[in-house]
Structure 1
Amino acid sequence: MQVDPGNMKLTYTNSVFHFLKPALLVLSLFLFAFSVSAQDEAETYFAETKVGESFNFNEKTIRFKEVLVDSRCPSDVTCVRAGEAKILVEIFKGEKFLGKEIITLGANVNSFKTSLAKFFKEELDIEFLSLSPYPKTSRKIKASDYQLQFKVTETVKR
C-alpha cells in the first residue's frame, strides 16, 4: 500500500483485493439469499375461552376442557405459598383428536409459555395469559365461571 501525501488518498498496489472483492460479493449474495429463504412467518392469535369452549385456527383446535386444580392463594388472604392452577386442554387437527395437555399456571406468574409442536409439524407456541376469576375467600368459583386467556403463535416455514 502506498500513501500519496499530495491528495491523501490510499492506493493499493496489491492485486489480492481484486480477487477478494468478487469473492466477498458472491458470499454476501449467497448469505442474503439463504437468510431470506430461511425466514419464518409467524401468525399470532389471541383467544378467551370458557370451560368447554374451543378456539379454532388454521384447521387446528385448542379446547379448554377443565380446571383440574385451583390452589391459587385467594386475593384477600396472605399465604406462605402462592399456589397454582392446573388446566386441561385438548388438541385437535381438523376433526382428529391429537391429545391432551395439562398446563400448570403459577399464581404469581403473569404468563406461561409452552410449545405444542409435538402435536403438529410446524412450530406452535401457546402462552397462557390468565385464568380468571382469581380466587377469593368470599366466593366459590363454579367450573362454568372460569375463563382462560391465551395467545397462540404459529411459525410457518417458507
Structure 2
Amino acid sequence: MEEIKLDAIDTRILNELTVDARIPFSRLAKKLKVSNTLVHQRIKKLYDSGILKNATIQLDTWKLGYKTSAFTQIMLDNSKLHTKVEAQLAKIPEIVECVNIAGRYAILVKIFAKDNRHLRDIIYEKIQVIEGVEGTNTTMSFETAFVRPVPIQV
C-alpha cells in the first residue's frame, strides 16, 4: 500500500477534524486562513485517497448500558481459517473491533457487554462455537485511560 504525502494544509485539516469531525467547512477555512473551496477540495482529496474514511461520533458505552468491556484473544485450529472466522465474528454486534495478531493467538477482539454474564454468553455461545476456534483468553478492561488518533505530521 502506497504511503500518501501530506502537506501542511492537509495536516492541519486532519488535526482539526480529529478534534471535531463536525466542524463546518466555513469555520475550518476561517481557522486555517484558507478559502472554503480549498477546504472542500482537500477534504475530498483526503477521502478519495482513503486517508479519511468517515466522520463519526464517539459514544459513551457506559450510558448506553454496556458496563463491561474486554479484550478476547482467539486461538484457531489453523491460522488459514482467520478470514472465515473473522467473517463470523463480524456478525456479533457486541464485537466492536477485530484485529489479526501474531503469536499463539491469531485474532484479538474488543467486546462491549451489558454485564459479566452477557460477556460470558458472548464468549461461550457466540465465539467459542465458531468452526475453527480452538480456544480463547479474555482480559477484562476496568477503564480506558485514553484513546487518541495517530500523530499527523508533514
TM-score by length of 1: 0.20
Larger Cα-atom Rg: 1
Higher relative contact order at CA 8 Å, sep ≥6: structure 1 or structure 2?
2
Q: Per residue, is there more helix in 1 or in 2? A: 2
Q: Per residue, is there more strand in 1 or in 2? A: 1
TM-score by length of 2: 0.20
